[in-house]
Amino acid sequence: MIMYVEIVLYMEYLLGLVDLPWWGYIVVTLVLTHITIASVTIFLHRHQAHRALDLNPVVSHFFRFWLWLTTGMITKEWAAIHRKHHAKCETEEDPHSPQILGIKKVLWDGIDLYRKACLDKTITEKFGHGTPDDWIERNLYGKYNTAGIVLMGGIDLALFGVHGITIWAIQMLWIPLLAAGVINGLGHYWGYRNFENEDASTNIFPIGILIGGEELHNNHHTFGTSAKLSYKWWEFDIGWMYIRILEICGLAKVRRVAPVVKVREAKPVVDFDTLQTVIANRYQIASQYARHLKETVSAEIEQLRASAKLPQAPDWNPSKQMRLWLKQEAKDIDPNDQIRLSMLLEQSKMLETIYEMRQELSQLWERSSSTKEQLLKQLQDWCKRAEASGIASLQDFSRQLRGYAMA
Domain range annotation of the chain: 2-254, 263-406
Q: Which residues fall within 8 angstroms of residue 170, CB to CB, at 6 or more apart?
A: 29, 33
**Predicted pLDDT at 14:** 65
Looking at residue 321, its pLDDT comes to: 85
Residue 156 half-sphere exposure toward CB, CA atoms < 13 A: 24
Given this model, what pLDDT does residue 5 score? 47
Q: Centre a 10 Å sphere on the Cβ of residue 264 and count the other Cβ atoms it contains.
A: 10
Mean pLDDT, the chain cut into blocks of 10 residues (407 residues total): 48 72 95 97 98 98 97 96 95 94 92 93 95 96 95 95 94 89 93 91 96 96 96 96 98 94 87 89 89 92 80 75 84 82 89 93 78 91 94 95 86
pLDDT at position 8 is: 46
Residues with Cβ within 8 Å of residue 251, at least 6 apart in sequence: 55, 56, 58, 59
Q: Show Cβ contacts of residue 55 under 8 Å, excluding neighbours closer than 6 positions.
A: 42, 43, 47, 63, 246, 251, 252
Q: Rounded distance, CA 130 to CA 164, Å?
A: 36
